[in-house]
A and B are shown apart, each in its own frame.
Chain A
């Protein structure tokens, strides 16, 4: 009993340190620490119906467009620098034949149109989300965000932040294959 009283706090403290070290050194988890888990994964894509950004940009699109085949929904804005950084990856996805849709988040229609003209438009359709209302329903916390929707219209994966080459190869592409297989 007496020995236990002495040992117990030390053991608890050692255990706590162990858990902390384990969590801190887990780099996989660490890189995602600031990212919030989305409760929408495994749920049907939210109901929305977005108009086209402008006459010269194909769009808009709605929930029903996402059913029938695996698709990618990319939330972007012309004012968002990381979106420009990930643009080549999104274009690469589209080039591989993936159905990529764009939600233009809180943007000026003119600015978005010009941006797409200058950098290329990889999207099958772009929906203008001027008041970010649809983005709220998607649980978007900031741009860019990228969702993978399976053929049943269920959200299979969400990536917060720009899609880098690494993210594309290690996360997006495997998840896409998984969604297509399942």
Chain B
């Protein structure tokens, strides 16, 4: 609760202070009415300087940016609302002056592209993860050795164990170690049935 309150206070503090310092706006451009001036600044940061292209007119020192800043203020003083000011400039310079492209047919791909890519990547990731997991589970589940191989291996272990010290302790331990060594690593090729065959084959050669 306390944390929430703190973060809310912080947020309020940050929104209350103008984040961007005055860069290009000259003192003689500033309107007397602070409310109008704030609106002018907000509109200006959304409009592209058409000759510098990736600066807003609020940031740019270009003459045309200054002209547009003055135009924005002129329209505001004339009583236009924010949308009217923006559409006044868009009518002359096109959608390109908007630093934030509008949602309309020729920008659908622009806006939808990144989320679509993200969804596709996430889907592929999940699919691959699932496949991988299924294959791993499959490897741990049924015996990767055929019954014949298993019997042969068991017999081999018995024989080796018999030649070493007698007694059940070391024998079972040895057996466990052998079995562990023979457990196939998680398969990573795509085809499951092929995987287990290949792994069984490897088990054979190693034993």
Q: Decide: B124 and A141 in contact? CB cutoff 8 A.
A: no
Interface of B is mostly: helix
Complexed CA–CA distance, A174 and B124 (Å): 53
Complexed CA–CA distance, A37 and B95 (Å): 9
Within 8 A of A (CB), among B45-60: 50-51
B64 is an interface residue with CB less than 8 A from chain A: yes
Say which residue of A5, A40, A106 sits within 8 Å of B92 (CB atoms): A40
Q: How many residues of A contact B (CB 8 A)?
A: 20
Say which residue of B71, B90, B124, B190 sits within 8 Å of A39 (CB atoms): B90
Residues on B with beta carbons closer than 8 Å to the beta carbon of A133: 67, 71
Q: Decide: B92 and A137 in contact? CB cutoff 8 A.
A: yes
Residues on B with beta carbons closer than 8 Å to the beta carbon of A94: none
User: Beta-carbon contacts of B164-207 to A below 8 Å, as 1s and 0s?
Assistant: 00000000000000000000000000100000000000000000
Within 8 A of B (CB), among A1-28: 2, 5, 9
Q: Decide: A106 and B63 in contact? CB cutoff 8 A.
A: yes
Residues on A with beta carbons closer than 8 Å to the beta carbon of B67: 131-133, 135-136
Q: Decide: A2 and B94 in contact? CB cutoff 8 A.
A: no
Complexed CA–CA distance, A46 and B94 (Å): 15
Residues on A with beta carbons closer than 8 Å to the beta carbon of B94: 36-39, 139
Interface residues on B, range: 10 to 19
Interface of A is mostly: loop
Interface residues of B (CB under 8 A from A): 50-51, 63-64, 67-68, 71, 90-96, 124, 127, 190
Interface residues of A (CB under 8 A from B): 2, 5, 9, 36-40, 46, 106, 131-133, 135-139, 141-142
Given contacts A136-B67, A139-B92, 9 further A-B contacts (CB under 8 A): A36-B50, A37-B94, A39-B90, A39-B92, A39-B93, A106-B63, A135-B67, A136-B64, A141-B51
Closest 5 CB pairs of A and B: A39-B94, A139-B92, A141-B50, A36-B96, A139-B93
